[in-house]
């Protein structure tokens, strides 16, 4: 096993100022695993499963360009999922990782598939991945994301520490969780803050909805695509086409889970990610 395959310790590491363009946390030891969040979210969306994953993997949890603590894409650089994948590949180069296991949620799942196309993945786990639509995103996705952004900005400005009650958390998480009344305070608060503050939200969403994932035949490593049976964002008839996925793709149903299953069942989500071998 190459030296870059195993981290040297199990303590948390964060990006040093000016050291990398993308913000990230790193923890655990084992084979490298890169985690990618969805549109309008941040790396905090993976927090519920990090302790479980770090027991077995060297986990690099990344803020995609224009989200969380990562700046927008440089001027003249695109913001489509392929462009974001190139940015993540550059971070992997900085960390001395030619390849890693890649797991992504929602638009991060699409970015994970793109990293597979770039030959930077040992395996790909795409959880509720965007991009599996016919030509461009169904209209309700763009409209829903823009409404979620507006709602988050209003709530975050008026009530920066919301939502503290089970009812307000359920309202905030109703679209992304299969069990919104069970979402803990921390993930709900972080989701609202990330959605409200993402500096690159507009350009990444604009690029996301205009295209779709293609070229999956270029991916040669194991691929798992998983959707929760309570996913209310990416509906089966319009957002889950298999045509562009590589022939070795494994399709998994996550019973009772929503669009962001890390919130609903961290254990099942971690098992899914750790089941991938490359």
| Cα–Cα distance for residue pair 277/208, rounded to 1 Å | 29
Q: What is the per-residue pLDDT across 192-210, written as a single tens digit (0 to 9) for each? A: 999 999 999 999 999 999 9
Q: What's the pTM value of the predicted model, to 2 decimals? A: 0.93
Which one, of 226, 15, 195, 7, lies nearest residue 113 by Cα?
Answer: 226
Could you report the per-residue pLDDT of 218-271, keeping only the tens digit for each? Answer: 999 999 999 999 999 999 999 999 999 999 999 999 999 999 999 999 999 999
What are the phi and psi torsion angles at 124 (to 5°)? -125, 125
User: Per the structure, how many domains does the chain have?
Assistant: 1
Q: Give every residue of the chain whose pLDDT is below 50, as ranges.
A: 1-11, 16-18
Q: Which domain holds residue 98?
A: 3-274
The CATH number linked to 27 is 3.40.50.1820
- Active-site residues: which are they? 106, 231, 259
């Amino acid at each position: 096993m190459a030296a870059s395959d195993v981290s040297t310790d199990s303590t948390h590491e964060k990006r040093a100022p000016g050291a990398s363009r993308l913000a990230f946390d790193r923890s655990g030891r084992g084979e490298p695993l890169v985690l990618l969040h969805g549109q309008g979210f941040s790396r905090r969306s993976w927090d519920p499963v990090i302790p479980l994953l770090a027991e077995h993997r060297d986990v690099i949890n990344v803020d995609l360009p224009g989200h969380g603590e990562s700046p927008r894409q440089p001027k003249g650089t695109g913001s489509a999922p392929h462009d974001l994948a190139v940015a993540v590949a550059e971070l992997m180069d900085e960390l001395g990782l030619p390849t890693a296991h890649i797991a992504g949620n929602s638009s991060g799942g699409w970015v994970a598939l793109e990293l597979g196309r770039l030959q930077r993945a040992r395996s790909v786990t795409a959880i509720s991945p965007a991009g599996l639509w016919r030509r461009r995103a169904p209209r309700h996705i763009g409209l829903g994301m823009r409404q979620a952004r507006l709602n988050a900005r209003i709530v975050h400005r008026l009530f920066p520490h919301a939502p503290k009650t089970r009812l307000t958390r359920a309202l905030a998480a109703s679209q992304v969780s299969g069990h919104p009344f069970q979402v803990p305070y921390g993930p709900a608060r972080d989701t609202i803050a990330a959605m409200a503050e993402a500096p690159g939200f507009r350009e990444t969403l604009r690029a996301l909805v205009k295209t779709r994932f293609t070229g999956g035949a270029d991916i040669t490593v194991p691929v798992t695509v998983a959707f929760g049976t309570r996913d209310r964002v990416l509906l089966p008839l319009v957002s889950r086409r298999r045509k562009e996925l590589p022939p070795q793709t494994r399709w998994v149903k996550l019973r009772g889970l929503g669009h962001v299953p890390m919130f609903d069942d961290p254990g099942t989500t971690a098992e899914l990610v750790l089941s991938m071998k490359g």
